[in-house]
Amino acid sequence: MAYSKKVMDHFMNPRNVGKIDQASGVGEVGNPVCGDIMHIEIEVKDDIINDIKFQTFGCAAAIATSSMVTEMVKGKTLEEAEKITNRAVAEALDGLPPVKMHCSNLAADALHEAIINYRQGQGGVAEVAKGCCQEQPETNCVKITE
């Protein structure tokens, strides 16, 4: 398994691990492909993600994408965070091995779930509810759900 230097860095030294006291939004997604789980908590103030933490049960790629997504959206507006795609996370890590592309689904999806959860608490409208695979039908996910 050839991982990029960036993946190994985020895996060995993950950023923003843990939980937030009194989080404003919580998202958790499971990966139907390999059984992994990712949990993200956000603290939002004035539409800005002030703080974000993650916990992930999964491979090095899953941990690295989780860590990377938290780094990418910390300090960003909710609108900006909603636009983060799985592909963008993978690209920020200098790519993932093809068999590991599905792992990046976890991170962006958990983030989007956390935002939905926050908006629901705020009386906003839930709009993003992507499951694994829907965004990247070319990944391995499709095979498994057959």
Partner 1 sequence: MKAIYMDHSATTPVDPEVLQAMMPYFNEIYGNSSSAHSQGQMAHQALEQAREQVAALIGATPVEIIFTAGGTEADNQAILGFMTHDRQKKGKHLITSSIEHHAVLHSCEYLSKHGFELTILPVNEAGQIEPDTLKAALRPDTALVSIMHANNEIGTIQDIKTLAAISHEAGAVFHTDAVQSTGKIPVDVKELGIDMLSASAHKLYGPKGIGCLYVKKGVTVGSYLHGGAHERNLRAGTVNVPGAVGFGKAAELAQQQMSQNIVHLKDLSLRLTKGILDTIPNSRLTGHPVDRLPGSVSMVFDYVEGESILLMLDSYGIMASSGSACTSGSLDPSHVLLAIGLPHETAHGSLRLTMGKSNTLEEVEQVLTVLPDIIAKLRVMSPLGH
Contact code string over 2-31 relative to partner 1, x by CB under 8 A: -x----x--xx-x--xx---------x---
| Strands 48-57, 37-45: pairing kind | antiparallel
CB contact burial 12-25 (16+ within 10 A = b; e otherwise): eebbbeeebeebbb
Sites for ligand FES among residues 100-129 (CB under 6 A): 100, 103
Give residue 10's Cα distance to chain centre.
14
Give the full edge-to-edge strand order of the sheet including 37-45: 25-30, 37-45, 48-57
Binding part of the chain for ligand FES, among 56-64, 71-79, 83-91, 121-129 by CB under 6 A, reads 56-64
Binding part of the chain for ligand FES, among 31-39, 41-49, 87-95, 138-146 by CB under 6 A, reads 31-39
Give how far Cα 144 sits from Cα of 83, 110, 127, Å: 27, 21, 26
Cβ of residue 125: shortest distance to partner 1, in angstroms?
27
Binding part of the chain for ligand FES, among 21-29, 45-53, 59-67, 69-77 by CB under 6 A, reads 59-67
Contact code string over 81-100 relative to ligand FES, x by CB under 6 A: -------------------x
Give how far Cα 116 sits from Cα of 11, 17, 62, 130, Å: 27, 21, 21, 11
Q: Is 133 tagged catalytic?
A: no
Q: Is 103 tagged catalytic?
A: yes
Cβ of residue 127: shortest distance to partner 1, in angstroms?
25
Judged by the rule CB under 6 A, the positions of this chain that interact with ligand FES are 31, 34, 36, 58-59, 61-62, 100, 103
